[in-house]
Amino acid sequence: MFTGIVTDIGEITSLKPVAQGQLHRMRIASDYDQTTIADGASIACNGVCLTVVASGTADGKTWFDVDAAAETLGMTTARHWAQGGRVNLERALKIGDELGGHIVAGHADGIATIVKRDDLPDMARFELRTTRELARFIAAKGSITLDGVSLTVNTVDDVTFSVLIIPHTLSVTTLSGWKAGSEVNIEVDLMARYAARLSEMK
């Protein structure tokens, strides 16, 4: 479980397709304390919860290895990740931690495409498009997770929606590099999903 508050930006230092391309083994460098990362730990990478299979240190950085399986590669932007790419990182929530964003599972629901970027003084406004299936869970002033970042939905119009990114978020995440045409991982609000399911069962 996560909160959508990014705590580091990692760099993919190696990527190796295995199992006939159905599994990608990735090594990610970060500033996390290696002694706190155990094999089997969960780390959200651009909003995708991945399991640490090994970790260590090199060149003053902590590295950890994760595997992205076929379903993850099919549903998320992980299939486009490459060596040198940067990803938003968040460690799994511990009991007693501050819930600074909203409840995030780290199970990306799919992909949203950036339609337009408007640069404002110190801020940026993005308009995104997603599928009709996911759009029904998105509401103005509701929560959404994009590339692992907890955000508030600004406006909604059918299958498009917008978010406004404040200076701090632009400075501590990869969102500053977003542009029209970019694809990002999307996780809809868990509460919206349950509410929709309850409504369907009536």
d(CA 145, CA 153): 10
> Any catalytic annotation for residue 107?
yes
Task: Name the DSSP letter for residue 31.
Answer: S
Choose the catalytic residue: 2, 126, 137, 161. 2
User: Catalytic residue at 137?
Assistant: no
Among candidates 72, 73, 104, which has minimal Cα distance to 187? 104
Question: Would residue 36 show up in a list of annotated catalytic residues for this protein?
Answer: no
State the catalytic residue, choosing from 7, 42, 113, 162.
42
Of these residues, 152, 155, 171, 176, which one is catalytic? 152
Expressed in angstroms, the distance from the first to the final Cα of the chain is 29
* Residue 152 bears catalytic tag: yes
Q: With beta carbons less than 8 A apart as the criterion, state whether 147 and 173 touch.
A: yes
Q: Which residue is associated with the tokens 């299939």?
A: 79
Alpha-carbon distance of 87 to 74, in angstroms, equals 18
DSSP state of 175: G
Catalytic residue among 7, 13, 41, 69: 69
7, 13, 51, 182: the catalytic one is: 51
In a 3-state reduction of DSSP, which class is residue 179?
A: coil
Clarify whether 102 is annotated catalytic.
Answer: no
126 catalytic, yes or no? Answer: no
Of 44, 49, 68, 112, the active-site residue reads 49
The dihedral over CA atoms of 125, 105, 187, 119, expressed in degrees to the nearest 10, equals 10
Query: Choosing from 41, 92, 107, 113, which is the catalytic residue?
Result: 107
Catalytic residues: 2, 42, 49, 51, 69, 107, 152
